[in-house]
Structure 1
């Protein structure tokens, strides 16, 4: 019988229990000024405060993953660590179907589309599983910042960041003609406009009891390419699916986070049109928040096993 984790996180996720603020502050003293005891007698911090969220991330990465140098340019996206690493654990299980076990080591090569200035998926994936990453981004500042994070944490040989000069292309211009990846990851822009992104932040602040007049501060930050694109998540997914077909023989699995469940039916129809042989929807739950990973492959099961065997030597 499988153990049911109350948090809804993957069983291998290190963040099943509430944050251990004593241990976090001991490892990263700069977090201490942000921690307080709430009316229930529990240690916590103000999750509506961007500085507090960044300090928490820095402490979590240092304590649990040995990432001791982590920072962001002002205004860039500060991602929630438990949810990001959950994505990695769930796609690791997907790869295990072909590999025969959860794969680790540098033979596993992963493409992170939209690596961001935070470089979070490559950093976590390199530390948790020893995988190698290529991270792409249309923003040169993000590419430079992510590269610095990789090298400053001794992961320059495992993480390579590439600039995508054409914002309309997702894979072309990044994947070489002979390159092969076992997995692609993506955290697509969620909103269709800056106004929509701002409304989303206002809702978060209200939920945190921090509603305020005027333009809200984005507690997790985020630049245009990180938060929104024309057509929002649905349009981005449609483009990614259409363009993935050309590279179907170079990637074992394509995947993307899908925040809005209502975007799945159109995505599934698009995958049928391009001839995807296998489609999976992997649900992720964290507290009351439910999101999902859409994964697809242009190879059938036997071909994926053979592809893995050939690529894993």
Structure 2
């Protein structure tokens, strides 16, 4: 078999309007006034001033959670419970990661955008199970295995999946070992194709509370936020760099199981060490896609052991 030629890391910068061209909010931002008319509970969260559009205080976690629930119901017919103590997904940004995966899958095999089933693994799905739920609403042929190490979050995620009639396409499992990212005991590859077409992950960004506070204080131009999150969602030993390094190590062992490995990256300083580590291991078929759904930038690190080439359209926002 021919070897895949090495590729350089590709950096794709979003345009001034930030969102992916297929993101439903790219040309039509959420209309708070209309959402308020549809959902009275959300209307109570809005600040209304005569002759001006209603506004939302994004520093209030309860109001942000109500916005997420209203958008999911209005735009995707998803009824999702988001526990008060859990991270609240920002829907436009979550969509951008999914659209990046779509680009990747379209390049891998155009048929997979149609009737051929696409199988994804969501590592650390959280209580909202947001990526599998959104992706399965967007694509009727997609299926997911969603994992999490936090059993209470797994229980809520299963309820969210069942409530939305997607239990036949999304399986939520509890990962007992926090040091294991890939459920290798469940992932034997067939002779014809890998078990999963891709994996996705939104890892904890910070090493500890001190680093989290220091980094948040270093962003004076960003609006203050009091959004909650449980410790396992926000912090991990060694921060996101160590977490994704572990995922890279496991991917080497599971290289016949998943076609495309991806992970969201929250800090630009993490990118160079991770790409250097990939190169040191001889894994040169990788790319970086940049997401910027708001004033906070994120990146998606992508790598594969297959012959498929990562070309410029991947992550082209």
Per the alignment, residue 9 of structure 1 pairs with 19
Confirm or deny that 1:148 pairs with 2:159.
yes
The match for 1:225 among 214, 221, 232 is: 232
Contact 1:281 1:295 in 2 (8 A): yes
Per the alignment, residue 254 of structure 1 pairs with 261
Per the alignment, residue 53 of structure 1 pairs with 64
The match for 1:76 among 75, 82, 86 is: 86
Distance 1:5 1:29 in 2: 35
Distance 2:134 2:261 in 1: 19
Contact 1:193 1:230 in 2 (8 A): yes
Where do 1:76-225 residues align within 5 Å? Answer: 76-100=86-110, 103-104=113-114, 107-130=117-140, 131-173=142-184, 175-178=186-189, 180-199=195-214, 207-208=222-223, 218-219=226-227, 221-225=228-232
- Structure 2 CA distance for partners of 1:267 and 1:76, relative to 1, 3 Å: same
What is the CA-CA distance between 1:201 and the residue it aligns to? 5.5
Unaligned runs of 5+ in 2: 1-13, 311-317
Unaligned runs of 5+ in 1: 211-217, 305-313
What is the CA-CA distance between 1:7 and the residue it aligns to? 2.3
Contact 1:242 1:270 in 2 (8 A): no
Confirm or deny that 1:264 pairs with 2:275.
no
What is the CA-CA distance between 1:150 and the residue it aligns to? 0.4
- Structure 2 CA distance for partners of 1:117 and 1:201, relative to 1, 3 Å: farther
- Structure 2 CA distance for partners of 1:175 and 1:44, relative to 1, 3 Å: farther
Per the alignment, residue 32 of structure 1 pairs with 43
- CA deviation map 1:72-115 (0-9, x unaligned): 23311111110011000011101111212672557101000000
Report the 3-state secondary structure (helix = DSSP H, G, I; strand = E; otherwise coil) of the residue aligned with 1:253.
strand
Q: How many residues align?
A: 291
- CA deviation map 1:176-234 (0-9, x unaligned): 32461001000010111123334556677984367xxxxxxx32x21111111011111
- Structure possessing the higher relative contact order (Cα contacts under 8 Å, 6 or more residues apart): 2
Normalised TM-score (structure 2): 0.84
Contact 2:184 2:254 in 1 (8 A): no
What is the CA-CA distance between 1:265 and the residue it aligns to? 1.4
Distance 1:205 1:151 in 2: 41
Distance 1:249 1:209 in 2: 44
Report the 3-state secondary structure (helix = DSSP H, G, I; strand = E; otherwise coil) of the residue aligned with 1:286.
coil
- Structure 2 CA distance for partners of 1:189 and 1:209, relative to 1, 3 Å: closer
Normalised TM-score (structure 1): 0.85
Query: Which structure dedicates a bigger proportion of its chain to helix?
Result: 1
Report the 3-state secondary structure (helix = DSSP H, G, I; strand = E; otherwise coil) of the residue aligned with 1:289.
coil
